Structure 1
Amino acid sequence: MSHRQYAIKPTNIDKLNARLLSVSLSKDEKDWQSVFHTHHFTELFFVVNGEGNFLFHDEKYHIRTGDLVIIPPYMEHTEQSIKGTPLEYYVIGVEGISFQPANKKTCVQVFCNFSNKSLIADLFAQMLYEVRNPSYGSDKICQDLLEILILRIVRYQHVIPVPITSTYMTKECARIKEYLDINYSEPITLDTLTELTHMNKYYMAHSFAKYTGQSPIQYLNQRRMEAACTLLKDTDHSISSISSTVGFSSQSYFTQAFRKKYGMTPIKYRQQHADGSRSNAGGGI
């Protein structure tokens, strides 16, 4: 019989100021539109299966099985599958912490690819199991699993966990922004947002503009336009259907607003992108 005992050596690690908010497992089944959105917390996005692209407003990154994307609070983003390889992914929301590369001073999106993908996937799977099957100590187990995941990210990716405060945006403005990102297709007025935040209407509009550079209604219309552009490029839905789908009260108002923003009608925009797609398809060597 052989026996060897290993001693545990304590290390001086600062307490992690991180709290698990949510856990989910999703698969892209083409039953929803991928649009840019933000969250007031840090997101950890782990690809279980599939292949696609992770998009920020001015950047696009290829992602595949085993990739982990860390998205700081308030950073606009979305993901898209590549045809034939639908993305399946875990997403957890984490409050109070984000990450920055060792050679940078600000929190930016971080891409990780682990050699031991199953080890990382198992941590996400255990968290999801505890959330779906709550029992004594589930919240503590989830929190401990989160801390293990963070330590593995720090160990293998050479990033620094940093505390996140609410200096980027007030809690109320962040809630408005998130609400608009998710519910842009619904009828929304300033009164809707006032009821949501219990803020004075004019103070609320002024505060939101201070942090985003746009009034809530301007931001809402921008969200609707972005969703409309995606539908015009990727579907053959009628202009009337797209107009109502993204939340405009009438096709004529939608067409007028679209022309004002892009300098062309929705039909012309669709034609231009269709022509561009055909040119690219026939431009091989």
Structure 2
Amino acid sequence: MSHRQYAVTHTDIEKLNARLLSISLSRDERDWQSVFHTHHFTELFFVVSGEGNFLFREKLYHIKTGDLVIIPPYMEHTEQSIPDTPLEYYVIGVDGISFQPAGEQTCVQVFCNVSNKALVEEIFSQMLYEMRNPAYGSDKICQDLLEILILRIIRSQHVIPVPIASTYMTKECARIKEYLDSNYSEPITLDTLTDLTHMNKYYMAHSFAKYTGKSPIQYLNDRRMQAACTLLRDTDHSISAISASVGFSSQSYFTQAFRKKYGMTPIRYRQSQAGDDAANGS
């Protein structure tokens, strides 16, 4: 007979401090509305079958069977199936940890090209089984499986685990973000936000930038630009009407800011989108 024995070597790995909050298995049956939403924890989203798109406010990514998406806390997102290929997917909620790509300073969404899809799916499946059939040690088994999954992600995707304490958005900053997302069309200044949170103006701006990578005013202008792009693409409203509806004080300032961000005027952007639609036959 043949026999080969391997000695176990022990590696000092810093404790992850990741805590499993929830796990679910969902299938898009077209009976729910896909809307942008956020969570205060990290999500691990794994596609079991189907095909669709994963959307953030500024980006859209195609997803398919075997893809794994890491969504950091407080990042607005949603998913949509492609007709006739409904998505089926696991979602895990994880507290205490998020991820940064090597060389980055902030936590961003990570799309993992999983090499061993069957192994990753089996980890999710075992966790769901334990939660559906709780018995002695189920929570411990799930926690250990979570750590195995995270270590495999770290190993294959070259990401760095970050304690949630260094990325966790404070209640005040989360309130500012929610306010800007909902009221971007209104006149908003730093004084507006300090009155909202009762924080020192400069500390508030610094704290918000720490968690989002942008100052409150930069975030507000980006939010307005996103809304403007949607209106330019999907309506025939005039440029002046769009400028006013998304919160800019003048059309000239809106055009200047739009050109600076996108390298073209709003009119040129609308023309380019109409050309793309015509080329795609829509």
* Letter of the 2:88 counterpart: E
Name the counterpart of 1:31: 31
Question: For 2:11 and 2:43, how far apart are their aligned partners in 1?
Answer: 27
Question: For 1:20 and 1:166, how far apart are their aligned partners in 2?
Answer: 19
What CA RMSD, in Å, does the superposition of the two structures yield over aligned residues?
3.6
Q: Secondary structure, in 3 states, of the residue corresponding to 2:154?
A: helix
Question: For 1:114 and 1:96, how far apart are their aligned partners in 2?
Answer: 23
Do the aligned partners of residues 106 and 169 (structure 1) sit closer, same or farther apart at CA in structure 2, a change above 3 Å counting?
closer
Name the counterpart of 1:22: 22
CA offsets 1:144-198 (integer angstroms, 9 cap, x no match)? 00000000001111111111117643358759989xx9xx9xxxxxxxxxxxxxx
- The answer as to whether partners of 1:38 and 1:177 remain within 8 angstroms in 2 is no
- The answer as to whether partners of 1:50 and 1:88 remain within 8 angstroms in 2 is yes
Structure 2 stretches lacking a partner, 5+ long: 183-193, 218-222, 235-241, 248-272
Question: For 1:167 and 1:103, how far apart are their aligned partners in 2?
Answer: 16
Q: 2:147 aligned with 1:147, yes or no? A: yes
Name the counterpart of 1:239: none
Name the counterpart of 1:66: 66
Name the counterpart of 2:112: 112
Question: For 2:177 and 2:32, how far apart are their aligned partners in 1?
Answer: 20
For 1:1-285, list aligned pairs within 5 A: 1-165=1-165, 168-171=168-171, 206=197, 261=245, 280=277, 283-284=280-281
Name the counterpart of 2:189: none
Do the aligned partners of residues 35 and 82 (structure 1) sit closer, same or farther apart at CA in structure 2, a change above 3 Å counting?
same
Do the aligned partners of residues 142 and 61 (structure 1) sit closer, same or farther apart at CA in structure 2, a change above 3 Å counting?
same
Do the aligned partners of residues 207 and 164 (structure 1) sit closer, same or farther apart at CA in structure 2, a change above 3 Å counting?
farther
Structure 1 stretches lacking a partner, 5+ long: 185-202, 215-221, 234-257, 264-275
Q: Secondary structure, in 3 states, of the residue corresponding to 2:142?
A: helix
Do the aligned partners of residues 150 and 282 (structure 1) sit closer, same or farther apart at CA in structure 2, a change above 3 Å counting?
closer
- For normalisation by structure 1, the TM-score amounts to 0.64
- The answer as to whether partners of 2:107 and 2:167 remain within 8 angstroms in 1 is no
- For normalisation by structure 2, the TM-score amounts to 0.65
Task: State the shift of 1:114 in Å.
Answer: 1.1
